[in-house]
Amino acid sequence: MEEDRTYQKGFNDGYLLQQHEPEIANMLSNVKSDDAYLEAMRAGRDQYLHEMKERFKEHSQSAPNHSKDKGMSPER
């Protein structure tokens, strides 16, 4: 039970740290350790990055391409 709470706290902390302090989250992700809390932080960080990639994909697919309207070439 205690391990579950530690994992959940680490996961949430890693997610929030990546959201608000990505430089620190990136530094911590490079730390070599088998610590359960740190592993959970990495998982939370990875989850946040995955969600941001998915949101970007969705947004870029649904965003209109205005370059054609302005006579701009897509090669620009």
For the stretch 59-76, what's the b/e string if a residue is b when 16 or more beta carbons lie within 10 angstroms of its beta carbon? eeeeeeeeeeeeeeeeee
Tens-level pLDDT at each residue, the chain (76 residues) = 888 999 999 999 999 999 999 999 999 999 999 999 999 999 999 999 999 999 998 888 886 766 555 555 555 4
Q: Where are the domains of the chain?
A: 2-61
Say whether pTM exceeds 0.85: no
